[in-house]
Amino acid sequence: MGTLTPFLLTPFTEIWGSPVFFAEVVLTGLLTGVMYSLVALGFVLIFKASRVFNYAQGIMVLFAALTLVGLMEHGVPVWLAIGLTIVVMVGLAVAVERLMLRHLVNQPDIILFMATIGLAFFLEGFGEMVWGSNVKELNIGIPDNPVEFGGILLSSFDIIAALTGAVMVFGLALFFQKTAIGRALRAVADDHQAALSVGIPLKTIWITVWSVAGVVALVTGIMWGAKSGVQFSLSLIALKALPVLILGGFTSVPGAIIGGLIIGVGEKIAEIYWGPALGGAIENWFAYMLAMVFLLFRPQGLFGERIIERV
């Protein structure tokens, strides 16, 4: 029984013992979760519109951040730099559509997935060649002051990040549900050829979606980059997004958010309270295990579409 105590007993007594600390842990987790959600959002957008799992989303985050920092280092003022970066991301979307997506219409999903991995490699090399590969600091003037909230310590930065995330999600959800373009995007996700045959301009749709994903990547890049510096590890976020998508469903915008929050909180709690018993660094795999267990009971995620197979 002695070996099980750290697992079954201690964590709960610790939680019970200092609820304020627990609340802080939960909040930190939530805020990390918002970051995850932002990344997952980029994935959902592209997946929703084209059934492509864009592995390069992580690199796009890095690339956007690198471009922004690079421009700022050359003396470009913040707001202009952001605007220019958005232009670059749109340019990237156009290039991707023209050089890659157009030629892979109706290929099986795994081929498209592999192509995005190729894209990721390319962007990584390209970004680092142009802007250099050392860690960069990103400061666009978001205040990072401690804020007290009912006895719990937060930073204003985190709050702003959370709000930004919330606004983005809300806006995107509306976009998909209410607008004609949103409908067209959903049609494209279902069947490329069918969408073409009813006159939906595939090309425009894809450019639109990838551009929006690019902007989401930029926002994500700003948030993550400001927190922990702009560096290569930013691109590995792509892999973290997978468990988020599993939980939330690959095609659901609200799902990406909720999934991100759950993973963020879950990870933090597991690391703080169960981590010491297991030697630490549980965060490496906890999210995936959680996702896997989830998959066994609800394969389509919380909000994903039920997969019905017919013969």
Partner 1 sequence: MLYREAGQFKTSYAADQAIFPIRQDRWFVAAVLIVAYVGVPLLMKGREDYLYQAVLIPFLILSLAAIGLNLLTGYAGLLSLGTGAFMAVGAYATYKITTAFPELNIIAVFLLSGLIAAAVGIMFGLPSLRIKGFYLAVATLAAQFFILWLFNKVAWFYNYAPSGTITAPPRTVLGIEVTGPHATAEVRYLVVLAFVTVFALVAKNLVRGRIGRQWMAIRDMDIAAEIIGIRMLPNKLIAFAISSFYCGVAGALYIFCYLGSAETEAFDILLSFSVLFMIIIGGLGSILGSILGAAFITLLPVFLTNAPQLVGLGMRADLQKHFEFMIFGSLIVVFLIVEPNGLARLWQITKEKLRRWPFPY
Instruction: List residues binding partner 1 (CB under 8 A).
Output: 53, 99-100, 103-104, 107, 109-111, 113-115, 117-126, 128-129, 133, 239, 242-243, 246, 250, 278-282, 284-285, 288-289, 291-292, 295-296, 299, 309, 311
Q: Token match 């892979």: residue?
A: 104
**CB of residue 148 vs partner 1: minimum separation in angstroms?**
36
Q: Return d(Cα 24, Cα 28) in angstroms, integer.
A: 6
Query: Closer CB to partner 1, residue 180 or residue 307?
Result: 307
Query: Closer CB to partner 1, residue 75 or residue 279?
Result: 279
Phi, psi of 200 (to 5 degrees): -75, 125
Query: Closer CB to partner 1, residue 166 or residue 239?
Result: 239
Contact indicator for 64, 127 with CB cutoff of 8 Å: no
Query: Closer CB to partner 1, residue 83 or residue 299?
Result: 299
Return the bridge partners of 148, or none: 153
Return the bridge partners of 230, or none: 136
Return the bridge partners of 298, or none: none
Q: Return d(Cα 38, Cα 103) in angstroms, integer.
A: 29
A 10 A CB-CB count for 293 gives 10
Contact indicator for 198, 260 with CB cutoff of 8 Å: no
Contact indicator for 118, 56 with CB cutoff of 8 Å: no
Query: Closer CB to partner 1, residue 48 or residue 158?
Result: 48
Query: Closer CB to partner 1, residue 112 or residue 272?
Result: 112
Query: Closer CB to partner 1, residue 168 or residue 263?
Result: 263
**CB of residue 6 vs partner 1: minimum separation in angstroms?**
15
**Is 198 exposed, middle or buried (CB count within 10 Å of its CB: 0-12, 13-18, 19+)?**
exposed
Query: Closer CB to partner 1, residue 21 or residue 232?
Result: 232
Q: Token match 């991995």: residue?
A: 117
Contact indicator for 252, 44 with CB cutoff of 8 Å: yes
Return the bridge partners of 152, or none: 149
**Is 35 exposed, middle or buried (CB count within 10 Å of its CB: 0-12, 13-18, 19+)?**
buried
